[in-house]
Amino acid sequence: MQRILFILVLSLLIGYQNNSPHQAVEDVLNNLHLYAAEAKGQEYFDLFAADAIFFGTDIGERWEKNAFQEYGLARFETGKGWTYHMTERNIYFSDDDQTCWFDELVRNDKYGQLRGTGVLKLVDQDWKIVQYNLVLPIPNDLLPKYAQEIKEFYKEE
């Protein structure tokens, strides 16, 4: 009897750990990268809240979900997505556990190491991405050179 009780309690604890808010957010972010790599458009965009914003690496890439979805689905229909492998991630929760924010380092074969940051919120018991921001960090010593090139590209003074 004690053995059965022990197994039941252990099962409940394991089940709770797998359904913790932290694990649920990890799953959403892991699936974000998985679905993009597998070009699974519907699954990918289901991870975003209706009012989500995606910031790409280009200054003009501030995508509201509908526009980003239109672009992404057209690309995914070709069978090609984009592949980023998470190498490090930090997740933080609001005091009421209804919102979280994160930062992560991701690696891409073409671009190398990038940083993703963002916000998720609970929507009907599911964690949804409200904002994702993908940036290419530039080492401080290289910043003056590349900042000048970027200014010239955008024809800034």
User: How do the domains of the chain map onto residue ranges?
Assistant: 23-153
Q: What is the dihedral of CA 65, 66, 72, 78, to 10 degrees?
A: 160
Which CATH fold topology does 23-153 show? Nuclear Transport Factor 2; Chain: A, (3.10.450)
45-76 in b/e form (b: 16+ CB < 10 A) is bebbbeebbbbeeeeeeebebeebbeebeeeb
- For 98-107, the pLDDT digits (tens) are 999 999 999 9
pTM for this entry: 0.84
Check whether 40 has a pLDDT greater than 80.
Answer: yes
- Beta pairing partners, 54: 63, 132
pLDDT value at position 155?
87
Q: How far apart are CA 147 and CA 149, in angstroms?
A: 5
- Cα dist. 104→8, 33, 85, 92, 119 in Å? 36, 12, 10, 12, 12
Average pLDDT, the chain: 91
- For 73-82, the pLDDT digits (tens) are 999 999 999 9
